[in-house]
Amino acid sequence: MRIWSRPIQFKSIHTKIALAFSCLILCTTVILSYSAYRLSTVAVTDTSLAYTKQLIDQVDKNIQTYIGNMESIATLSLSNNDLKRYLALKNPADPEGLQLTNQISNYFQSIVASRNDIASILFAGSNGALVSERPASDFKPYSELITQDWYAKASRSSGKVLISPSHVQHLYKDEYKWVVSISKPMPNPLPGTASGVLLVDLNYNVINDLCNQIQLGQRGYVFILDQAGDLIFHPQQQLIYSGLKSEDMPTLMQAKEGTFPSPEKEQNKIYTVSTSSFGWKIVGVTYAGDLIGNKKDMQLASMMWGGIALIIALGISILLSITLTRPIKVLEAHMKQVEKGNFNIRVDVEGANEISKLSRTFNLMIGKIKELMSQTLEDQEVKRISELKALQAQIQPHFLYNTLDSIIWMAEMGKVDEVVTMTSALSKLLRSSISKGEELIPIAVELQHIENYLTIQSIRYRNKFTYAIEVDPDIQNRRILKIILQPLVENAIYHGIKHSPERGHIHITGRRLDGMIELKVLDNGVGMSEEQLKSLMLKTRQAESGKGFGLHNVNHRIQLYFGDHYGLQFESEREEGTSVTVRIPDMPPLPNENDREN
C-alpha cells in the first residue's frame, strides 16, 4: 500500500513546489560550492606555486653564494705567493719545499678553520707538490690522487673552475666525507714552472641541510642536478639509482626556468626549476594534491557551508511552498463542498495575487451557477406547465363536446359521409394527442394534425371557411414543437373568420428563410386595429389566462426551447385579415426519425 501511495502523494502541488525548489537549490548550491572550491583551489595553487618558485630561487641563491665563496677562496688560495714559489720548485720534497708546505698548510688551516662549510683545501702540482691543511701523512699516495677526476679534469680545463657532483671524497686515509668539490687550475703559471690544481671541498651537509629545510607541502622535496644531469642531491637518491623512482630528466635538462607539470600524469608532480649561473638545476617538486595544503579542510568547509545553505534553503522552500499552497488548499476545500452541493459558500482569500483573483472568480462562478441552477429549475417547471397546458389546449373538453354534438347532429340528418370524415379526423386527432411523448415532431406530423383539426372545424362551421396548406416539401422533415399551429388556427377561426360576414379562408404556408423555418397562418377575417394588435402582442408576453392565453403559451414555449430569437409575430389590418408568423430554428431530423414514423 505504502509503496503505491508515495508517488501519488508527490503529485500534490505543495510537494511538487518543494521538490522543484529543492532540486533547484541543490543544483545551485552544488554548482556554487563546487565552483567556489575550484576557484579557491586555483588561487591557492597559484599562490603556492609562486611561493615554491620563490623558495627554489632562494635555494639557488644560497647555493650560488656557497659556490661563489668557494671560488673566491680558491682564487685567494691560488694567489698565495708561497704556493707560487712552491710550484716553481723542481723538487718539492727538498728542505725549502717542506718549509713552504708548512707555511701553506697553516694558511689553508686558517681558512678552513674560519668556515665550517669548507671540508678541506688541497693543492696538487704537476711537480709532485701536495699540500693541504692536514699533515702530509694523512694523504693517499700522490700517484693515486692525480688520477682522480678533480685533478685530471681540472688540469685539462684550461683555467676554468670545475664543480663536481656530490661524492665521497677519498683523498685522505680512512676518511670518506660527502662533499661537493671545486677544482681550479693555477692560472697563468710562469713559464718553466709546474702547473697545479687547487681543490676546495664544500661540506655536503650544507647542501643537504639547505634542501632538507625546504618544506614544499606535505610531500614535496627539492633536488639538484648538475650540468650533466647527475644528481647532486636527492632525498631519495637510492630509490632513483635502484629504478624504484624516477624524475623526468630529459624534460628537466631542457627546462631552464619555470614551473611545469610532470609528464607522468598519475604522479601529479609539479616541477619548479631554477638554473644557477654555473649550470646546476635546483628543482622543486610539489604534488598537485599537496599545494592546497588543507585540501580536505577546504572540501569540508565548502561541503559544510553548502550543506548549511542547503538546509536553510530547503527549510525556506518548504515554508514557501506551504504558504503558497495554503490558499489553494482553502480553495480546494471549498470546491469540495461545492462538489457536495453546497452552493451557499464564499471563499475569503485576501490579497491581490493570482490565487485571490482565482477565489474571487470562483465566488462569481458559484453565484452564477446558483443563479443558473435556479433559473433552469424554474424553466423546467414552466416548460412542464406550458406543455401540460398545450396538451390541455389541444383537445379542450368544450371542443370535444361540440364536435361530438356535431357528429350526432349529422348522424340524425343522415349525413353518413360527413359523420365518417369527422369521426375519422377526430379519432386521428385524439390518437396523435395521446401517442408519443416527444416534444419535437416532424413538421409533416404537425401538419397532419392540423389538417385533421381543420377537417373537423370546417365541417362544424359549414361553408364558413376554406383552407389551404402550402408547405415546402423539403422542410417537412424538419422538427417543430408539437401543438404550435393548432392554437393559431383556432384563433384564426374563433377571432377572425367566425365574426366575418363573408366566407373566410385560412392559408398555411411554410418555407425556409434566412436559415430559419418560417410557418405562417393567414386568414382574411375581421382583422385587428393597431391597439388590439398591440394588446395582443402584449398578452403573448404575459402569462394571463383567458383570451390570448393560447398564443402566449405558444410563444413562451418556442422561446423557452429555442431562445428569444424565435417566436411569434403578428401582422393585422382591420377588415383585411391577420397573419401570424412562427419562427423556429432549422433543425435537421433525428437520424432515426423516418424509422420511427414508419
Partner 1 sequence: MKIRVGSVAIAVIMILLITAGYVVLSQGLEGKERPMILIPKTIDPHVEFWRVLNQGVSAAAKEYKTEVKVIGTKSESDIEEQIKLLEMAITEKPKAIILAATDYNRLVPTAQKVIDAGITLITVDSGLEGGLSASLIATDNYAAGRKAVETMKNYVQGPATYAIVSFVKTSTTQMDRENGVRDHLTQDPSIQVLDTLYSNGSEDKAYEQTKKLLSEHADIRGIFGLNEVSTIGAARALKELDPEQRIKLIGFDSSTDEVAFLEAGILQATVVQKPFNMGYLAVRTALEAYEGKKVKVNIDTGSEVITKENMYTSENQKLLFPFVEK
Residues that bind partner 1 (CB under 8 A): 6, 9-10, 12, 14-15, 18-19, 22, 165, 167-168, 170, 173-174, 176, 178, 204-205, 208, 212, 218-219, 221, 230-231, 235-239, 241-242, 244, 296, 300, 303-304, 307, 310-311, 314, 318, 322
How far is it, in rounded angstroms, from Cα 554 to Cα 532? 19
Q: Which residues pair with 260 in a beta bridge?
A: 271
Sign of the CA dihedral 492, 495, 498, 500? negative
Name which of 115 and 547 has its Cβ closer to partner 1.
Answer: 115
Q: How far is the CB of 221 from partner 1 (least distance, A)?
A: 8
How far is it, in rounded angstroms, from Cα 109 to Cα 324? 93
Q: How far is the CB of 323 from partner 1 (least distance, A)?
A: 12
For 134, the grid coordinates are 692536514
**What's the N-to-C CA distance of the chain in angstroms?**
59
Q: What are phi and psi of 298, to 5 degrees?
A: -65, -40
Residues ≥6 apart with Cβ < 8 Å to 547: 539
How far is it, in rounded angstroms, from Cα 207 to Cα 166? 9
Reduced to 3 states, what is the DSSP secondary structure of residue 193? Answer: coil
C-beta separation of 558 from 484 below 8 A: yes
How far is it, in rounded angstroms, from Cα 518 to Cα 270? 101
Angle, to 10 degrees, between the axis of helix 416-434 and the axis of helix 443-460?
140
Q: Each residue of 167-202: b (16+ CB within 10 Å) or e?
A: bebebbeeeebbbbbbbbbbeebeeebbebbbbbbb
Rg (CA), the chain: 64
For 529, the grid coordinates are 386595429
How far is it, in rounded angstroms, from Cα 206 to Cα 213? 11
C-beta separation of 183 from 151 below 8 A: yes
Of the candidates 95, 71, 86, 67, the one whose C-alpha atom is nearest the C-alpha of residue 196 is 86
How far is it, in rounded angstroms, from Cα 560 to Cα 504? 33
How far is it, in rounded angstroms, from Cα 531 to Cα 572? 11
For 440, the grid coordinates are 419535437
Of the candidates 109, 83, 74, 104, the one whose C-alpha atom is nearest the C-alpha of residue 184 is 74
Residues ≥6 apart with Cβ < 8 Å to 408: none
Q: How far is the CB of 294 from partner 1 (least distance, A)?
A: 11
DSSP string, 506-556: EEEEEEEETTEEEEEEEE-SS---HHHHHHHHHHHHS--SSTTHHHHHHHH
Name which of 14 and 505 has its Cβ closer to partner 1.
Answer: 14
Q: How far is the CB of 227 from partner 1 (least distance, A)?
A: 14
Q: How far is the CB of 19 from partner 1 (least distance, A)?
A: 7
Q: How far is the CB of 370 from partner 1 (least distance, A)?
A: 31
How far is it, in rounded angstroms, from Cα 59 to Cα 43? 24
Q: Which residue has the cell 404537425?
A: 446
C-beta separation of 325 from 13 below 8 A: yes
Reduced to 3 states, what is the DSSP secondary structure of residue 224? Answer: strand
* Number of residues that make up the chain: 598
Q: Which residue has the cell 615554491?
A: 52
Q: How far is the CB of 2 from partner 1 (least distance, A)?
A: 10
Q: What is the DSSP letter of 135?
A: -
Name which of 58 and 236 has its Cβ closer to partner 1.
Answer: 236
Angle, to 10 degrees, between the axis of helix 443-460 and the axis of helix 397-413?
50
